[in-house]
């Protein structure tokens, strides 16, 4: 069995891996090299541009090709959930400033 480092260098050469923080700790967007500490040495691992940490908003934009995809999804969910439940949830959140404020607090 190959170690993860060997897999990155062989089978997945040229690919980029993302550690996605769906809801970031602060209201900021980022896409930077992921340098977690090494559990054995307690030091930061060497920077690798192909292993990245990214916020959820930016990641959804990369994956879909639509920069504001996560916001569009957030705004569409009440309609989809309403259809499943057989209720009109769109009118419930339409014009509700708290609904969008919560999203903006996360992103």
- Whether residues 58 and 84 share a domain: the answer is no
Task: Quick: pLDDT tens for 44-89.
Answer: 888 889 899 999 999 999 999 999 999 999 889 888 888 888 888 8
Range of the domain at 105: 68-107
**Structure-model confidence comparison of residues 39 and 92, the more confident one:** 39
Length of the chain: 107
Number of domains comprising the chain: 2
- Whether residues 60 and 8 share a domain: the answer is yes
- Whether residues 12 and 56 share a domain: the answer is yes
- Whether residues 79 and 57 share a domain: the answer is no
- Whether residues 98 and 60 share a domain: the answer is no
β-sheet with 31-33: strand ranges across: 17-21, 51-55, 31-33
The pTM is what? 0.73
- Whether residues 61 and 12 share a domain: the answer is yes
- Whether residues 12 and 33 share a domain: the answer is yes
Q: What is the pLDDT of residue 3?
A: 53
């Amino acid at each position: 069995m190959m170690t993860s480092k060997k897999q990155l260098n062989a089978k997945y050469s040229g690919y980029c891996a993302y550690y996605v923080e769906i809801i970031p700790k602060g209201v900021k967007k980022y896409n930077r090299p992921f340098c977690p500490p090494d559990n054995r040495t307690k030091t930061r691992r060497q920077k690798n541009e192909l292993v990245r940490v990214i916020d959820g908003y930016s990641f959804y934009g990369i994956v879909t090709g639509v920069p504001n995809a996560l916001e569009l999804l957030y705004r569409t969910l009440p309609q989809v959930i309403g259809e499943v439940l057989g209720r009109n949830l769109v009118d419930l959140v339409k014009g509700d400033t708290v609904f969008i404020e919560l999203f903006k607090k996360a992103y």
